[in-house]
Amino acid sequence: MEKKKKRRLAAAVLFGATAATAAAGVGESVYFYRRTMKRGKAKTERTIKMAGTDWSQYMDFIEARKEKLLARPSEDVSIETRDGLTLQGHYFPEGNEKKVALCLHGYTSESMKDNLAISGYYLRRGYSLLLVDARAHGESEGTYIGFGCLDRQDAMGWLDWIIERCGGDVEILLHGTSMGGATALMMSGLTLPPQVKGIVSDCGFTSPKEVFTHALHSMYHLPAFPVIPAADLINRRLAGYGMDECNAAREVRKATVPILMIHGSADTFVPASMCDEIYENIASPKRKLIVEGAAHAESYYKDTESYEKALDEFIASL
C-alpha cells in the first residue's frame, strides 16, 4: 500500500512539473509572439539593438538626404489591400515618370527612414520613387506584421498603382531592405507584371521562422522549441499565415526577372549565409555583392561606391 502511495505521489509530482513546464512554454511563446509580430509591441529600438548597427555615425548623411528628398514635390498616396487595410505611401515623381523604384522598408521601420539614403541614387538616375509603409508599420493600417508573406501581395497592389499612374510602358525596379528585401524576393515567385524589370534585395532573409530561430539561438541562447512552433500556430490563427509558409529561398526558384543580392559580411541579425542560400536557388539571371565588415542594413553606408557600382551594372544589364 505504501509503495502505491509513493508511486501516486511521484506521478502527481511529475504531472505537476510537466504542466508547469508546458504552461511556462505557452507563456514564453505568447510573450515572444506579442513582442515580434504585433503592432505596438514590436519596438524599433529593440530591433536596432538586436541588429547591432551603429546608426549614429551616419545620421548627418541620412539627414542631408532627407532634407533634399523632402524639398522635392511629392504626393501622399494610398491603396486598399485584399483584406481591407489602407496602406500609405509617398510618391516622388521624376522626369517623365517612365522609370520607378518601388522601395520596401525593414521590420519595425518606415518608408521615410530606411529608404532615405538610397533615394538620392535613384533620383540622380532619373527614377521616380514610391516609398511605402508596410502593413502594421508607419502610416499604414494593420495589427499583425506581414513579414513578406502578406506584404508581397500588398506590394502587388502598389505595382498596379504605378502602372495605372505611369502607363503600361513604365519600367519598375523593386528595392527592398531587410524585411523589404525578403518581400521583394518572395514576390519573385508570383506572376509579376512585365513592367517589373528587376529586384534588388539588401540583407533580405529567407523566412520569419528562420530569422527568429537564428535570433533565439544566437542572441538569447534559447532553443526554437516550443517558442517557434507555438508562435506559428498563433500567427496562423491571428494573422492568417505560417511563419515558413513563404520562404524567399523557395520562391526565387520560380523567378523570371533578374535579381541583385546585397548583404553585409558582419550581419549578425540576418546572417550572410541566408543570402548565399537564396542566391544559390535563384532561377533567373543573378548578381551578388557582399560588403566586407557591414552590419545589418549597413552596406550602402559602409561602401557607397561599391554599392552604387553594383546597382549601375545591374540596371545596365536589364
The per-residue pLDDT for 167 is 98
Query: Is residue 74 packed enough to be buried (19+ CB in 10 Å), middle (13-18) or exposed (0-12)?
Result: middle
**Three-state secondary structure call for residue 224:** coil
Rounded to 10°, the helix 208-219/227-238 angle is 150
Distance CA 274, CA 204 (A): 8
The radius of gyration computed from the CA coordinates of the chain, to the nearest angstrom, equals 22
Task: Judge contact between 112 and 90, C-beta under 8 A.
Answer: yes
The per-residue pLDDT for 27 is 58
Domain ranges of the chain: 43-207+246-317
Q: Name the residue among 256, 264, 254, 260 with its Cα closest to residue 299.
A: 264
The per-residue pLDDT for 58 is 95
pTM of the entire structure?
Answer: 0.90
CATH class of the domain at 43-207+246-317: alpha beta
**Three-state secondary structure call for residue 299:** helix
Task: Judge contact between 307 and 300, C-beta under 8 A.
Answer: yes
The per-residue pLDDT for 158 is 98
Q: Kindly state the cell numbers that stand for 22.
A: 508546458
Q: Kindly state the cell numbers that stand for 191.
A: 506572376
Residue type, 59: M
Mean pLDDT (10-residue bins), the chain, 318 residues: 46 34 52 85 86 92 94 97 97 97 97 92 97 98 97 98 98 98 98 98 97 85 86 93 95 98 97 98 98 97 98 98
